[in-house]
Chain A
Amino acid sequence: AQRVTQPEKLLSVFKGAPVELKCNYSYSGSPELFWYVQYSRQRLQLLLRHISRESIKGFTADLNKGETSFHLKKPFAQEEDSAMYYCALSGRGGSEKLVFGKGMKLTVNP
C-alpha cells in the first residue's frame, strides 16, 4: 500500500532561520515524490518533484530511498513561505494513484 507520513503538523520559525519539513513514505514499487503547497486563499499547487532535482523558491528535497524519506529544506525561510505543505507520492508498478500526507503548516514570523 502507498502511504505518506508527515510527522509534524505545525512548524513556526523566524525569518532567516532554516526549515526542514519531514516526509516519509511507504511503497513497494518505484516511487515518484512531490511537494505541494497551499498559500492562503490559493489553490493547492506543485512546489517541486524529486525527478526534476531543481530548487524552487529556495526549497530543495532529496529522495533517500534507504530511509524512505523526501524531506523539504530551505536554508533561510521567508515570511512568504508561510503556507500548508503536503508531501505526495505516486508510483510505478502499482495502482499509480496520487496520495498525500496530512500536511504541515509552516509559519514564518518576522
Chain B
Amino acid sequence: DGGITQSPKYLFRKEGQNVTLSCEQNLNHDAMYWYRQDPGQGLRLIYYSQIVNDFQKGDIAEGYSVSREKKESFPLTVTSAQKNPTAFYLCASSISTLNTEAFFGQGTRLTVV
C-alpha cells in the first residue's frame, strides 16, 4: 500500500523535552516537506529536502531540526528551543520540488504540557 505515513497520530510531551515526529514514504519521491498547521495560519513551511542527505530551512525553522539519511524517511525533531510547539504537523512528499503534486500524511498532533 503506497503512500506517506506519519506517526504517531497524537503525541504528548512535557515542556523542555525534545520530541521526534516520524514521516515515511514508499513513493520513491525525492522531495519531502514538513509543515506546521495552526488555526488561521494555514500551512507554514518548517523544513524541506530536495534530495537525500540535503535539506533546507523553511520559513519557521527555529526550534526544529531534521535529517534525511534515507530517501524514504524525513524525521522532524521539535526541540526545547521551540517556544510554542503545540500544533498540528504535516509531512508531505513529491517527485521533486518543481511543479509536481505533493502527497500529504495524516498529520501528527503534538501537545506539550
> Which residues of A are in contact with B by a Cβ distance under 8 Å?
6, 9, 32, 36, 43-46, 49, 51, 86, 88, 90, 92, 95-103
Contact = CB atoms under 8 A, between A and B. Distances in A.
Nearest to A104: B42
Contacts of B33: 97-98
Main SS at interface, chain B: strand
A98 B97 contact: yes
Query: Interface residues of B toward A: which range?
Result: 20 to 34
B99 A102 contact: no
Closest 7 CB pairs of A and B: A102-B42, A100-B43, A32-B99, A96-B97, A44-B104, A46-B101, A103-B42
B29 to A, nearest CB: 12
- Most chain A beta carbons < 10 A, residue from B90, B98, B99, B104: B99
Contacts of A97: 33, 45, 48, 56, 58, 97
B105 A43 contact: yes
Nearest to A96: B97
A95 B33 CA distance: 13
B35 A92 contact: no
Interface of B: 33, 35, 40-45, 48, 50, 56, 58-59, 90, 92, 94, 97-99, 101-106
Contacts of B59: 99
A50 to B, nearest CB: 9
A102 B101 contact: no
A92 B99 CA distance: 9
Nearest to B99: A32
A97 B33 CA distance: 9
A62 to B, nearest CB: 16
Given A44-B90, A45-B104, A100 B97 contact: no
Contacts of B43: 44, 86, 100, 103
Given A44-B90, A102-B40, 19 more contacts: A32-B98, A36-B102, A43-B104, A44-B104, A46-B102, A49-B101, A51-B99, A86-B43, A90-B99, A95-B56, A96-B50, A96-B98, A97-B45, A97-B48, A97-B56, A98-B94, A98-B102, A101-B42, A103-B43
